[in-house]
Structure 1
Amino acid sequence: MLAENNSTPRSDEELQKNMVGKLKPHNAPITLVEHDPSWHGLFEREANRIRSVLGYKALQIEHVGSTSVPGLCAKPIIDMLLVVEDSADEPSYVPVLESAGYTLRIREPEWFEHRLFKGPDTDINLHVFSSGTSEIDSMLRFRDWLRSNKTDREKYAQVKRSLAKSKWRHVQHYADAKTSIVQEILERANTIK
């Protein structure tokens, strides 16, 4: 969620370094849609599928990102958080997920050993982190704060809509451009414990 806050977009080479497979340019504005209540059901279906193939190795599965916040516009891609014992230990979970149709697309060892999979038949971003990683708490705190704080939810939506109108070479550049508003909102959320 919180990428490094760079004023210049990451180069194709920087992004490709973490990609599994070929980096494909977006070269378009970002499509945002109003919240769709069916997103929760899509999350539940995927969570059940992941639990069924990983069993006890799936320590926690959460619906995160904008699709998990009623009333917030979002890209129609379900963001999911999967917590495993050690996300760097790929042999312990990657082959099982791949056998169920999930595709490993991003490997970021320098950013909390983050891994990202795409789903077999639903447009998802499955973010995998190790148990105890601080980014897990950040993602959940951000989600929960936006669910309960209408002012920040509307402010975040306004920034997203404004940024989405621009043409983005890569979707990650749009995500990186939101870093400052995400950090600002998280700072407020962190004052309430």
Structure 2
Amino acid sequence: MSSRRPRRPDVTTSEAVGGVETLGLELHDYDERWVGIFGEHRDRIAKALTGVDVGIEHIGSTSVPGLAAKPIVDIVVTVEDITAEEDYLDALLAAGYVLRVREPGHRLVRTPAHDVHVHVFEHDHPAVDEYFLLRDRLRSDAADRALYEDTKRALLSRSWEDKNDYTMAKSEVILAIKARARAAREREA
């Protein structure tokens, strides 16, 4: 993390606004419209956060051409200070997003239709690089892309009471893919 000081202490607990949700999870074949949806929301976020130093990137399965995905476009937005919610959160809410998660180092807002999730982190938060590491590996390696899709399909054939349980069940495969991505990154360096 950077050496700058946050304006105030961050939250110390995780809050899921609205409580636990049981959501239907289904995989869709890759849809080229996801890139356009990201572009629309990138522009919407940039307009809402005019004057704020932000990064805006498409992440998650919908950012990987050819990969089947849940039809939820994930976006990562990076800000200077996560504790300075007045710099970004009110503007995102005014732009039509709804707060879903407030937890240490991370905020999540989403569309009311739950089809776009905007993850907010500080610029140098390690999770941001982890998102890019996985995304870029899946974009560049057909075998890992197929492994990840097959894993998701197998897991979605089961019943899940909580979307977070499904997410956790993918973690072993994700960790293995990221390990190969790190090794490839080191070889290229």
Structure 2 partner of 1:59: 54
Q: Shift in Å at residue 17 of structure 1?
A: 4.9
| 3-state SS in 2 of match to 1:115 | strand
Q: Does 1:106 align with 2:101?
A: yes
Q: Shift in Å at residue 159 of structure 1?
A: 0.5
Q: Shift in Å at residue 190 of structure 1?
A: 0.4
Q: Shift in Å at residue 88 of structure 1?
A: 2.6
| 3-state SS in 2 of match to 1:135 | helix
| 3-state SS in 2 of match to 1:57 | coil
User: CA, structure 1 residues 88+177, in 2 after alignment: closer, same or farther (shift >3 Å)?
Assistant: farther
Contact map agreement 1:50 1:58 (CA 8 A) in 2: no
| 3-state SS in 1 of match to 2:82 | coil
For 1:146 and 1:56, the matched residues in 2 are separated by 33
Q: After TM superposition, list the pairs within 5 Å mapping 1:165-184 onto structure 2.
A: 165-184=157-176
Contact map agreement 1:142 1:186 (CA 8 A) in 2: yes
Structure 2, unaligned runs of 5 or more: 1-12
Structure 1, unaligned runs of 5 or more: 1-15
**Aligned counterpart in structure 1 of residue 90 of structure 2, from 90, 95, 99:** 95
Task: Using CA pairs under 8 Å that are at least 6 residues apart, name the structure with larger relative contact order, 1 or 2.
Answer: 1
Percent of residue pairs bearing the same amino acid type: 39
User: CA, structure 1 residues 170+122, in 2 after alignment: closer, same or farther (shift >3 Å)?
Assistant: closer
Contact map agreement 1:103 1:118 (CA 8 A) in 2: yes
Q: Does 1:78 align with 2:70?
A: no
Q: Does 1:46 align with 2:46?
A: no
Q: State the AA in 2 paired with 1:19.
A: A
| 3-state SS in 2 of match to 1:105 | strand
Q: Deviations over 1:26-51 (max 9, x none)?
A: 3x5x2001000010000000000000
For 1:162 and 1:18, the matched residues in 2 are separated by 30
The CA RMSD measured in Å over matched residues stands at 1.6
Which moved further from structure 2: 38-47 or 113-122?
A: 113-122
Q: After TM superposition, list the pairs within 5 Å mapping 1:149-160 onto structure 2.
A: 149-160=141-152
Q: Shift in Å at residue 22 of structure 1?
A: 3.0
Contact map agreement 2:54 2:78 (CA 8 A) in 1: yes
**Aligned counterpart in structure 2 of residue 19 of structure 1, from 7, 16, 20:** 16
For 1:122 and 1:19, the matched residues in 2 are separated by 14
Q: Deviations over 1:161-184 (max 9, x none)?
A: 000111111111111111111110
Q: After TM superposition, list the pairs within 5 Å mapping 1:134-145 onto structure 2.
A: 134-145=126-137
Runs of 4+ in 1 over 3 A off after TM superposition: none
For 1:132 and 1:17, the matched residues in 2 are separated by 20
